[in-house]
Structure 1
């Protein structure tokens, strides 16, 4: 064994996918250090603990993690039950993180600022593949690792409201009126919404989740108004496949939302691309500028930005990444998940080959691996880390024997931005060509439903199936 092999594998993030990576590393006998920025496991998931996943427990537990928990006498939840984010943490993730096999290797309050190679910047090639990774923490501490599995997710980097990918004019000045995705409308955040007019911007499941909660609040509290704004001409994709969805809770989400819109309880604005925001006597005015130059506006009390998430690759700026110019995923994975091409809930089986970067030993997994694509499922992340860890252990047969069976949405099309009813593209997807390169993705991803709602984190929390 050389000196590099004696170093631990660094796992960034102690969410569902990061902890699954630690469980697989333990099974393979590979030392690891898990670096978690929060003060406890699954810090991001705890922020949307009020939301119910629309994926049942059977999709939310990693196989290697389950084997460790079973050895410790864990009582598994009903595989067909739908957990909330809080239950996911309390009944699975926290017990997993507290196992004696993993707990000593998890460092909390350890925020990663940068990753590089010891003594080498991105320009240097000689000896690179055999040089340890150097990981710098926010407190200035430097750590060495033989490989890096980045499961840090995307929850902390939501997309802006501006339609062109840039903040809308005035967006930074109206922060007091803006809400992150998935506010606890019926719980701790109720007072901010009751009796007020809220605009929800976004077409993913996180938007639908919030809209349903607001509709329930409006039925209970006079003066509560709900407006929903989407960029496209039709909400067909958000409504989903209904009874054709392989996950009944996910299908019911769209059906319930459609009923509220049809009944006028939720006002729908289509073709709504946010151009500017401005304070207006204790409220906020949201301005839309159309292609022809004409403008329209709506004035509300609160704006929920349910516009999805994007990865932050800045910590890996000194590493050699090969990112798709559209999605910020690896070039091999991007065509399999590109929402411009399909909106299916399934994705071809993929593992270490599709997720490899030119930087040998660096793998982004979980939600981060999907870049800006919105349809990540937590089960996808579990299979990713199984494949990556097998490759790190030198078991390439297992690494390339990827198995992924995901529930279909029941509504797919080749151009998700259009209003179509076709269901043609959800057939078996072609297998991807293996490539000789690295990995990626981590509610840190889950199938979000909701107490009476649902969510796909427009690429957001970690959980079962999260996407938009």
Structure 2
């Protein structure tokens, strides 16, 4: 019996990988809610920071770009770097892509993945998979493409005001827990962070009637990127701007995994780091307050309201209060948080700072277990944090899987 490949996740990376596997004639089962992180965990009214060229979900055949979707849906084409993509348009594009190329998507949750016990077509035990529908089956290979799910990062210094973890109705939340920001109308809101998520969330909340302050930590000041017409003309073009480093990381991420671990993790953090989109500046400046501090010392909740203790760049210790604190502090890959993977699998994975160490073709140290998207960033570079990374990842993963488990 030839067991199918299981793809866990139905965001851009899961859909793209599944489309490439199907095009190779490989039996595949795909699980998850389509575009769920984009639909439920991004703020209403959000605009994508990425350009149209950087927002295509890679397909094994032409005719499935964002521009193709716009043409099919009768939407004005999004072509130039000056065109801005509403998140609703991108979600609809992902759903259109799914209907065209991954029509058999199963909207059920994978409960567990464990090493299989019986021989499969490749001569190994494969993987035993249980679904929340009650079904169990064996897969010959598994692709983890769960995106941001379960990886929201709350800095430890904020934990004192969130004893039970971040919650939308508690003193401290994570930005991924909010879709409708109108709930903060008339309230004082502190947003912790300095990246696009923090700055755009703050602007949207202010437009919804909140009094908003952004608290930026460390040496970096709140800043915004240059508009397309101000980009250097004599540097190579990449999906993220004109720079030799961005060009290399975008189109040649293969050597990245051979760098020393310290360099790989540093580049993932720093390249394309905190920076607001050029088009956000006018909506932010003068509408949102900014407090740049050296660090947040601690957080506490008094009568249900958060109090942040901060150290200023001048060395003073101060307290900041608000009705709510929202941590727009990004996501951190941690294999331990992927609890659908059985304990034996997680314990057997070679890892570096909580992230899986991947070899050629996005395969982990356990043959047949693959990771793509954000969990692959520490092995293949910052491009894996963005949709355009599907262009590099999906065909290579599918080719490796076909050769190893075909």
Give the TM-score of the pair, scaled to structure 2: 0.72
CA RMSD of superposed structures (Å): 3.7
Q: Does the 8 Å CA contact 2:214/2:288 hold for their aligned counterparts?
A: no
Whole-angstrom CA distance in 2 between matches of 1:87 and 1:359: 38
Q: C-alpha distance in 1, partners of 2:404/2:136?
A: 30
1:208-255 CA distance string (max 9 Å, x none): 2112324445xxx5xx4221112212326x54456438658x987258
Residue deviations 1:371-404, cap 9 Å, x none? 69876111113421210101112299xxxxxxxx
CA distance in 1, matches of 2:99, 2:214: 42
Regions of 4+ moved over 6 Å: 371-375
Q: Give 1:146's aligned residue.
A: 140
Structure 1 residues 272 and 356: alpha-carbon distance in aligned structure 2, compared to 1, 3 A threshold: same
Corresponding residue of 1:231: 217
The match for 1:369 among 363, 376, 390 is 376
Tell me, yes or no, if structure 1 residue 329 matches structure 2 residue 324: no
Q: Is the CA contact (8 Å cut-off) linking 1:17 and 1:382 kept in structure 2?
A: no
Conserved 8 A contact 1:199-1:229? yes
Aligned to 2:257: none
SS at the partner of 2:295? Answer: coil
- Verify the 8 A CA contact 2:361 2:401 in the aligned structure 1: no
Match of 1:313 in 2: 338
- Aligned counterpart, 1:180: 174
Superimposed CA distance per residue, residues 165-200 of structure 1 (whole angstroms, 9 cap, x where no aligned partner) = xx6213136742334316778xx431x222221100
2:367 is matched with which residue: 355, 360, 364?
A: 360
> What is the alpha-carbon distance in structure 1 between the residues aligned to residue 129 and residue 6 of structure 2?
9
Give the CA deviation at 1:290. Answer: 8.6
CA distance in 2 between partners of 1:61 and 1:103 (Å): 19
Contact 1:182 1:206 in 2 (8 A): no
Unpaired runs of 5+ in structure 1? 121-126, 333-351, 397-468
**Match for residue 195 of structure 2?**
204
Q: How many residues align?
A: 341
Superposed, 1:8-407 pairs within 5 Å as 8-36=4-32, 38=33, 41-47=34-40, 48=42, 50-64=45-59, 67=62, 69=64, 75=71, 78-80=77-79, 81-90=83-92, 92-99=93-100, 102-104=102-104, 106-108=105-107, 110-119=108-117, 130-163=124-157, 168-172=159-163, 175=167, 176=169, 177-181=171-175, 188-190=180-182, 192-217=183-208, 221=209, 224-235=210-221, 238-240=223-225, 243-244=230-231, 253=277, 256-257=280-281, 265-280=288-303, 283-288=305-310, 295-311=317-333, 312-316=337-341, 317-319=343-345, 320-325=348-353, 328-331=354-357, 353=360, 355-370=362-377, 376-394=385-403
- Whether contact under 8 Å (1:208, 1:257) holds in the other structure is no
More helix by share: 2
1:230/1:273 contact within 8 Å kept: no
